[in-house]
Chains A and B, each alone.
Chain A
Amino acid sequence: MSFIKKFIEQETISRRNFLLASAYGVSGAAAMRMFGPSPAMAASYSDPTVAWSYRNRTNPYWNEIVSGGEAFVESLGKDKSFLTHLINEGSSEKSLADVKALLAKTNGELALAIDTNDAPNARPVVESCVEAGAYVSTLWNKTDDLHPWDFGDNYVSHMSWSDEGPAEQTARILLDAIGGKGGVVHLGGIASNNPAIERLNGLKNALKDYPDVELLDAQPADWDTQKANQVMSGFITRYGDEISGVHCANDTIAYGVLEALRAEGMDIPIVSYDGNPQAVGLVAEGKILATVFTNPHWGGGITAALAYYAATGHFKPSEEPNEHREFNGPSIFVTPADAAEFKANYLDNVPTYDWKDFWGPSNGPIVYK
C-alpha cells in the first residue's frame, strides 16, 4: 500500500508548500490590527477573579497544571476553591463561550490563565479578554501571528515549551539504546497540535545522525492510551521484529504502547514525554528509557500568577521586554539514573515556588521558524 502512500505524500507536500505561503508568510505585519486596544482600558483590580481554562480533568497533565494554579491561589492566602475552573472538553466552541460567560459575570475583573484547546481559538479569546479589560495569559496554543505585545497590558504573556530539542534528545537516547540501527516507530498526539508536530520533528532531527535507523511509521494516537494501544498492535503486525524502538509523543501514549508490547511478550526500548509521576515511576523501573518533565505544576501556577499580578498592577506587562511576554517553559530530562532523585525533588515533595519569580525557571524566548 505504500505506493499509494507515496503518491499521497507528494500531494500533501505540494499542498503544504502552498499553505505555508498563504498562512504563515503574509501575516506578520498585519498583526497590528484594528482590534488593537486603547491603553486607557488597562485598569487594575484589587481582587480579580482567578480562573484556569483547560481541556479536561481526565488527563494527569492537566491535573498537574491545575494543582499549580491552586498552589498559586493558596499563596495569596485564599482557599483553593477561589480558583475558577473552565473546562472545554476538547471543544474550542465551549472554551470561548465559557470565557465570555465568565467575562460577563465578572465584568472583566478577571485574571485568566488558559489553554485555548486549539491554536486558532487563542485570538478570539484574547480579543474578548482585552475588550472586557480582563488580563489573560495563554499556555501552549496560539497562532504564530498573535503576540502579547500587540495588545498592551491585557494580554500578559504566552508560555509554551520548545519540544523539538528535548524530543530530539530523548530520541538520541532511544537510538543509542538500540545500537544505532534497526527500525523505530513514532506514536504522536493529535496531529494538528503543536507539541505533536514538534515532538515528531525532534525524532526526525535525531534520525539524521543515525543513517542505519529507519523511521518505519508515524501515526497519531491522539494523546489517548487506548488508541495508542491499538495503533501499536497494528504496528507490531505490520513490522513485527523490525521494530527495535518506540518514540512516544507523551506518557499516556507510552502506557498504551507498553501494554501492547506486554501482550506480545515483547521488550523493546521506548521513550516518552511529559514526566507524569507514573511515567517517572516506570522510568525508575527501567520500563521507559527517558521522559521529559515540563513542570506543569509550575507552568500552571506561573501562568495564573502572571495574569493575576498584571491585573492587580503588581507589574506592568507593557514595560517588560518581549522575552518576558513570550517564553518557553522548563524541560527537565528524566532517565533511569536520576529518576529516583527527580521523583524525590519534584513529585513526592512538590517544591514551593515563589510565584512572583515569573521568569526564573523559564527557558528562553519563543523562537518562530
Chain B
Amino acid sequence: MYELQQIDKHFPGVHALKSIDFKIGRGEIVGLVGENGAGKSTLMKVIYGAYQPDGGTVSIDGTTVRFQNPRQAMDHGIGMVFQEQSLITNLTVAENIFLGFEQQFVRWGVIDWKALTAAARAQLAKVKLDIDPSIVTAQLSFAQRQLVELAKVLTLEERVDGDLVILLDEPTSVLAREEVELLFQLVRDLTSRASFIFVSHRMDEVLELSDRIYVMKDGEVVDVVAQADAQVETIQHKMVGRDIDKEYYREQKQQDYERTNPLVSFRNVSHAGSFQDISFDLHAGEVLCLVGTEGSGREAILRTVFGLDTPTSGTVQIKGETITHFNAQSGVARGIGYVPRERKVEGIVSGMSVYENMTISQMGNYATGGILKIGEERALARAWIEKLGIKTPNEHKDCAGLSGGNQQKVVLAKWRSGGSDIILLDHPTRGLDIGAKEDVYEMVRGMCADGVGIILVADTLEEAIGLSHSIIVLKDGQFQQRFEGMPGDKPTLFDLVHHMI
C-alpha cells in the first residue's frame, strides 16, 4: 500500500540513496537494518517527509505523492516515533500528544482543556497507559514517555482517512527487557490499525518483531528477507559484507585478573535519590558490569566514581586513597576516564578537531606554562589515529563530522593516551554499527591486558555478559546480586533478568 520506487537522494559528495525500492503492506511490520551510514536514517527521512528525494516515486495505494515537509506526510497517515526523549518535557502529556494539532480543541480561539485531556486519555488507552494526561511529561519514566510517543503518532488514526504507516526509530534503546516485551506486544496488537517500520540496532529484536526485513548497505537495499528465513548471521553478513566472528565479544581474549590492590573500592556508598549502600571492588584487568533498568542507579555510580557526584554516605577509595572531595578534575588526575552515553554532547566537543578533543582532558601534558605544544598534540593524535584505525582525513578534522564509531574511538584515545587506568564506559556501543562495536570490544580487551580496570554499563544484556568478569545487578538503587563471568562460566540472560525486575 505504501511504496517507494527507484528512490535516489544525493548530498554534496555523497550518493546517499541509490535507487531504493521499498514497500509495506497493510498491517505489516517491516524491519529496517543496516550499519551506520548505510542510509537508514536518510531513507526514514524521505519516508516521513523531512527530505525530498531527487529521483523516483513515492506512492500510496498507487497514487503518487510528494511531501514537502513532515506535516504533509502526516496528513497522509505517515507518522514517526522518534528515539527516546522527543517529547517536550515542560508540556503536559496531553499537550505533547496533540502538539501541532491543537486546533481541533479550540473553540472561539480558546483551548478546551477538558476536551483535550479527554481525547488524550483516549489515545493513552490505545497504548494501555494509565496516567493522568495533565501531568507534566518530565515526571514520566522513559518507558512511559516511549508509550506516550506512540500514542501521539496514533492520533493520526483520527485525523487521516486510510491507512497508517508508523516508523519506529530505535524505540527500545532506553527500555529494559520487560518493557521491550510490552512494547512489542502492543505493536503487534496495533497492526490492526497500522503498519510499522521498525528500525533498530538490536538484531534479535528486529528478527523477533518484523514480518519482513530490509537490509541496507551503502545506500542500497541489499536484501529483503521474510521472518521465517531470517537468521542473524546471514543478515549481519549482508550488512557488513563479511562474516561476523563467532567470538563476537572476544571472549577468547578474556584473561583473569589479579584480585589484590583494588583500583576502585566502594564501601556502603549511598547517594540520596539514586543508589544506596553499594559496595564493590574493581581490580586492574577487570571488567565490572553494572546491570539494571533505566534509573536503577548505574549511571549515578559511574558519575560518583568519576567525581561528578558526591555521595551522601559511605567510603570511596581510589587506588587505596580515600576520596573526600569529589570533583571531575581530581578524578581525571587519579587516572579515571569517563566515556559518557551521550557521545555527541558529553563525549566529544563538536566544533573542535580530533587532536583538540584527544588532549582536552590532559592539556597539562602538552603545555609548558600554559602554552600549548600543538606539534606534540598533533603527533599524539596521528599516533592514535593510526593505532585505533580512526577514519579521518587528518587530525584537524572537526570531530562532529566523524561517524559514531570513530567519535567513540577518539573519546577512548583521549583517556588511554592520557594514561587513564580506570575507564568508565556508559553505553559505549550505543548507536554503533557492528564493525564499530567489534572495534570497541577489541579495545576493551586490549585495555584489560594493559592492566586497566573497566566499569561498564552495557547497551544490551548480551554485551554485559559477554564482556564482563563480574556483574552487579541493581534495582531501584539497591544491590541485588553479584555474578562472576569468566569464559565458559557466564551467567545466562535469565539469571540477570530474574534479579533486575
Check A-B contact in the complex, CB < 8 A. Answer: no
Give me the interface of A with B, judged by CB distance under 8 Å.
none
Residues of B whose CB lies within 8 Å of any CB of A are: none
